[in-house]
Amino acid sequence: MKLKDWLKVNRKFFLERDLRYLMRNLYPQVPSFYFELDSCLDGDKLAYLDRVKSLYIKGMPLAYILGKEEFFGLEFIISQDCFIPRKETELIVEKAIKLIKEHSFKYILDLGCGCANIAISIKKNVESEDVIIFASDISYKALCIAKKNLSLHSLDIPLIRADLLAGFKKASLDMIVANPPYVEERYIYGSLLYEPRIALQASERGLFFIKKILLEAHYYLKEKGYLILEIASYHKDYLEKFVVNLKTYQFVEWIKDYSNLFRGLILRVRKYG
């Protein structure tokens, strides 16, 4: 069977983005799989594609099937022990890199790092040996995946097992970047069932960890240090009031995603509470 014939039959089962990533993994040496449309699929390739399709149509995310995912132009090792990096989180990373460069920040924490995609993406793009990034997570298994990714990208970033900010020195960080769990249990279905609950789910309408970080982060940030959080779009109105009532942060920016939804929040420490 030729590749074009397999695609004709099976393309309908895949999201286009996932299909393209699958093809890039099938033909890593060519600039585009379109150059291989007339190539014949040998037994190994056909068996591989059939296995991927079988798992995919059951709902398993392609990242878990392949054991890898792209993020911020980099490839990361992924397993079901960690959360799959999302495209919208790249917007958080872009803002963090810009602020680090503008303010010459030195000490950065990727809080709840998972596979360390945020920490690694920042470190690879700030282009400064002076920037020291820490990556923390409560999950030992997630930190094991993070360690593999540090090795993959030849980086030395301290990995710390901690429950949020426990164990960090107060007033020591220039920036905290976090993509905490913020999904309500009722929204966890379909492909999300394959991902670790500890990395996804939060009580209090998805706000438990976000609120906890907001209540604690200013103690660990230096004066005028920055906190960057990824949020669910429907959290925006509540968090706006919550932060105003805290009186410890100054609003810097709300981050919108590619669909013009509010998906991130940038705050600066105003004073210590």
Indicate which residues carry an active-site annotation: 83, 179-180
Amino acid residing at 80: Q
Q: Which SS3 state, helix, strand or coil, does residue 7 take?
A: helix
CA count, 13 A, side-chain hemisphere, 210: 30
Strand partners, 176: 109, 227
- In sign, the C-alpha dihedral spanning 254, 260, 262, 264 is negative
The answer to whether the CB of 135 falls within 8 A of the CB of 113 is yes
Distance set, CA 230 to CA 120, 204, 225, 248 (Å): 17, 16, 17, 19
Q: What is each CA distance from 139 to 89, 98, 113, 229, 231, in whole angstroms?
A: 20, 29, 9, 19, 21
